Chains A and B, each alone.
Chain A
Amino acid sequence: MNNNEIIKVENITKSFRLSAKQRKVRKLTESRIIAVNGLSFSAFEGEIFGLLGPNGAGKTTTLRVLSTILKPDGGNAYIDGKSVIGEPFEVRRRIGFLTSEVKLEEFFTPDYLFDFFCNMHGVDDEKRISRKQELFERFGIDKFAFTKVADLSTGMKQKVSLVTAVAHDPKVVIFDEPTNGLDVITAKVVTDFLTQLRMQGKTVIISTHIFSLIEKVCDRVGIINDGKMVMCGELSELTKSESLEDLFFRLYNEKGGETQ
């Protein structure tokens, strides 16, 4: 890790319009709900940054803004100096976006999907072939390279999903809830993958509500609640006097959150 700022989030806000039905279900009178409210933080080269927060805190929305899926209502965010608002195509060249839910076209083989995403990112043939060989060997996909995704095990599908997301060798990997709902073996594959990326000098940002995952893989952590950053810093500094879990609930209760 060094001080080269790769991800910079500057006071972003994002709200969503609520339908009449949604307002009725949530018992709200406002027509919009604020998901992210003036959020700012930075992540540096070669680190894993964790966004920790309860459900509905705004973690996924923040990561979706960073991956140019959503446009912020206010503020801006930069990936390797490129604005997610002004230069979305440049941002997309630099990121790999993943979720724990495997979303692959099941008709195709891992080999085809890898080539397809390389072509979509404009990776030249030489680099594509060498990278495919390297990643497929590392994850043991090479034996199933020409098997349809539909016929692969859940763990292997997750590996294929990881590999295709980083086929173009992005500088930044954005991972929404990386181990959510995964069995222990697949979760281990994912956490190992994250630490490997850090070793390669990639910047990784993850969102999660699992304390152990943050403690295991993250260098820095940002705790968010109600779309606002409550605390942000180095994990080792924040957990000097109390555990991450204790810190989280103390902050959560101070902000008037409900605990059970």
Chain B
Amino acid sequence: MKNGAWVVFRKEMSHFIGDKRLLFTAVIMPGLLIYILYTVMGMAMSAMMTEEVKSFKAAAVNMPQYIEEMLAQSEFEVQHISSDETEKIKQGVADGDYSILAVFPDDFENALDEYVSKLGADEVPNVEIYYNSADINSSQAYMKLVSTLDVLEDSLSNVFDINNSGKEESYDLATSEDTAGSILGSILPILLMTLMYTSCASLAPESIAGEKERGTICALLITPVPRSQIILGKLMALSLMALLGGISSFVGIFLSVPTLMSSVDIEGGSIGNISADVYKISDYIKLMLLIITAVMLLITLISILSTIAKSVKEASTLVMPLMMTVMLASFMSINVTPKDVSAASLCIPIYGTVIGFTEIFTFSVQAGHLLIAAGTNIVLSGVGIFVLTKLFNNEKVMFNG
């Protein structure tokens, strides 16, 4: 006799693979959506940050000649005005007619000299800069002007330099791996766990609560196949599909992260060169181990709730607290330093898995930690399957008896 679990597995897979709409929504769409969403977001952010502005129309009161010359290099076109005109120009900045208004104190240069020669004075010269933060042009003009004035300020009271030896030397000792790991390790674990949960939750209620609702589960349960094998067959098929959905999401993330991250500046340079290349095959194997066990656990938990439910709608309601738990556990791991994590906390379902993901993405994985997190998932899945078998054998649960 053919193994009952295998027969059920094949039937479930035939349904999942044969139903093109289901296949698309559960496996292809998650990755595709993430890729499109993040790529478009990255491109939009990048375009915003690199938008070329031909010139900034600035108005200034008492601006020294040498500052105007410095600003000219940044495409500033300065219009000198009297202090009586400031209110009118402020309105112009608010309306977008001017990029910026800079008001320097009277006799700014003498005030600076006096301040520098005394190494401090009672009153620090103050430059007032009016800008419009809702206007990209005005915001950029503000940043450029502040940056120029910072340089000027540094040159006036330069006591020591930082990282200005003039040698061709990199002071940031982090490798590109470290940088990528730090960035990816902060976003991917939460995203991955959330997407895995979404994949699992989109499939399990239909497979179990759906069969209960349609009454087709009865025909399955009066066959001579033990109910534990029926459960196993269903869980294997659901786990495989959820895994494919998780992998699809993962690929979508990795393909879109370079575009998304290219808009983020770190120490003046972009990190757009991040790609999946930074991880080795061994990292992916560890990741897959953890993903497979986590998917097993999530599918088992959702299946338990779907078995208790009388309909798909009720199952969708029952899994909501589980979704909140997954989100909570994921966000609790944000500020955790993997090396400080205790073995006991890795035994906390979901949370331990997210920490495991963080360790892998930040190249700080500890074999013991990984085994504890994966082992916890496997043990809890086993307990879950035991509970599911009990539920499947309970006539009140299965047949409202």
Chain A interface (Cβ within 8 Å of chain B)?
Answer: 16-17, 64, 67-71, 89-90, 92-93, 95, 97, 101, 103-105, 107-108, 112, 116-117, 119-122, 164-165
Contact = CB atoms under 8 A, between A and B. Distances in A.
A116 B233 CA distance: 13
Contact of A70 (B4, B224, B395): B395
Interface of B: 1-2, 4, 7-8, 11, 14-15, 18-19, 211, 214-216, 218-226, 395-396, 399, 401
A69 B214 contact: no
Contact of A89 (B18, B216, B224): B224
A122 B2 contact: yes
B215 A120 contact: no
27 contacts: A64-B399, A64-B401, A69-B218, A69-B221, A69-B222, A69-B395, A71-B395, A92-B224, A93-B224, A101-B215, A103-B214, A103-B216, A103-B218, A105-B15, A107-B15, A108-B11, A108-B15, A119-B7, A120-B4, A120-B8, A120-B223, A120-B224, A120-B225, A121-B223, A122-B2, A164-B219, A165-B219
Contacts of B225: 120
* Pairs of residues from A and B, 5 with the lowest C-beta to C-beta distance, nearest first: A122-B1, A103-B215, A120-B223, A92-B224, A119-B7
B218 A116 contact: no
A95 B222 contact: yes
A71 to B, nearest CB: 7
Contacts, number: 65
A112 B7 CA distance: 12
Contacts of A64: 399, 401
Contacts of B14: 108, 112
A104 B401 CA distance: 21
Interface SS majority for chain B: helix
A45 B270 CA distance: 83
B216 A105 contact: yes
A69 to B, nearest CB: 6
B224 A121 contact: yes
A109 B224 CA distance: 22
Given A103-B219, A107-B18, A117-B219, A122 B224 contact: yes
A168 B8 CA distance: 17
A92 B216 contact: no
B222 A116 contact: no
Contacts of B219: 97, 103, 117, 164-165
A16 B218 CA distance: 19
B11 A116 contact: yes
Contacts of B215: 101, 103
B316 to A, nearest CB: 20
Contacts of B8: 120
Contacts of B399: 64, 69-70
Nearest to B214: A103
Given A97-B218, A105-B15, 20 more contacts: A16-B401, A68-B222, A69-B395, A70-B399, A89-B224, A89-B226, A90-B224, A93-B224, A103-B219, A104-B216, A105-B216, A108-B11, A108-B15, A112-B14, A116-B7, A116-B11, A120-B7, A120-B8, A122-B1, A122-B2
B395 A92 contact: no
Contacts of B214: 103, 105
Contacts of A95: 222
A91 to B, nearest CB: 9
Contacts of A117: 219, 223
